[in-house]
Amino acid sequence: MTIQPASTPDILDTGHGNGKNRVPSALLADLENALVSVDRVMAVRIVRDSCVTGSPFMCLETLIVPALEEVGRRWETGEVALSQVYMSGRICEEIVDTMLPAGDPRRVDQPKMAIVVLEDHHTLGKRIVLSVLRAGGYEVTDYGYGVSVDQLVDQVTRDNVIILLISTLMLPAAIRSKEAITRIRKILPGTKIIVGGAPFIFDPLLWKEVGADAMGHAASETLELVRRMAAEVQR
């Protein structure tokens, strides 16, 4: 299947990064096309050739994330199958793995931090956020994905986590974060909790309703949020 750059202008503002980041719409369409065709080699080549300048995070948020979102939108309209969405996600995960640095052993002095995908198997957002934090010099414990509320409360308490990042892509999981946050606050009242993922973007008040301290729209906001939270807990 070939994806046409459906009546888009030559340059797209993807909406990520305050409108500063613009990529050619043809490039996005090429990447979408490679993803739904499960053409891993082509997808890697497109990203590699178009991301030679600038930071890898910029590339992620202006090219890879919008391309994946567009594949998802086409799934919603019945144009592509779930298997194509799945393979697109897997290919993007592999690309992200090669682009973003693994943890640096020399970490900044920081409060204990952890990240989780709560009751959800959408891992890509967490992976990107984690990479941004690690690239920014933070050591972050990765609790993985599909973690239940009970498991999360146990882990956070055991590790005495001071800054917790929760990612959810499914609305039910986002709503469940309220129970996790309430229980964690009872045991560790000083813990700062940042949430993120699609449900919090769709409903801009949801992060407050679940009791979080902050929400992040994109991985690029994460470092600033974490720095702010770290400053608050160290005050």
Does position 128 bind ligand B12 by CB under 6 A?
A: yes
Residue closer to ligand B12, measured from CB, 10 or 125:
125
Does position 82 bind ligand B12 by CB under 6 A?
A: yes
CA distance 131 to 64: 15
Residue ranges of alpha helices (H) inside the chain are 25-36, 40-50, 56-59, 65-76, 82-99, 124-135, 149-159, 171-187, 198-202, 206-209, 222-234
Residues 135-164 interacting with ligand B12 (rule: CB under 6 A) = none
Pick from 159, 146, 219: which is nearest to 188 by CA? 159
Map residues 165-184 to x or -, x wherever contact with ligand B12 holds by CB under 6 A: x-x-xxx-------------
Does position 233 bind ligand B12 by CB under 6 A?
A: no
Residue 1 CB, nearest approach to ligand B12 (Å): 16
Q: Which residues pair with 214 in a beta bridge?
A: 194
Does position 23 bind ligand B12 by CB under 6 A?
A: no
Residue ranges of alpha helices (H) inside 112-221 are 124-135, 149-159, 171-187, 198-202, 206-209
Residue closer to ligand B12, measured from CB, 56 or 196:
196
Identified binder of ligand B12 from the candidate list 13, 69, 142, 159, rule CB under 6 A = 69
Does position 191 bind ligand B12 by CB under 6 A?
A: no
Does position 76 bind ligand B12 by CB under 6 A?
A: yes
Does position 63 bind ligand B12 by CB under 6 A?
A: no
Pick from 53, 51, 45, 46: which is nearest to 26 by CA? 46
Stretch that binds ligand B12, among 26-34, 36-44, 62-70, 175-183 (CB under 6 A): 62-70
Helix orientation angle between 82-99 and 65-76, rounded to the nearest 10 degrees: 170
Stretch that binds ligand B12, among 17-25, 44-52, 155-163, 192-200 (CB under 6 A): 192-200
Asked if 189 and 161 touch (Cβ cutoff 8 Å), the reply is: no
Asked if 168 and 175 touch (Cβ cutoff 8 Å), the reply is: no
Stretch that binds ligand B12, among 6-14, 153-161, 175-183, 188-196 (CB under 6 A): 188-196
Does position 61 bind ligand B12 by CB under 6 A?
A: yes
User: Distance of CA 227 to CAs 88, 127, 132, 191, 210, Å?
Assistant: 32, 19, 13, 14, 22
Residue ranges that bind ligand B12, judged by CB under 6 A: 61, 65, 68-69, 72, 76, 82, 85-86, 89, 120-126, 128-129, 165, 167, 169-171, 194-198, 216, 218-219, 222, 225
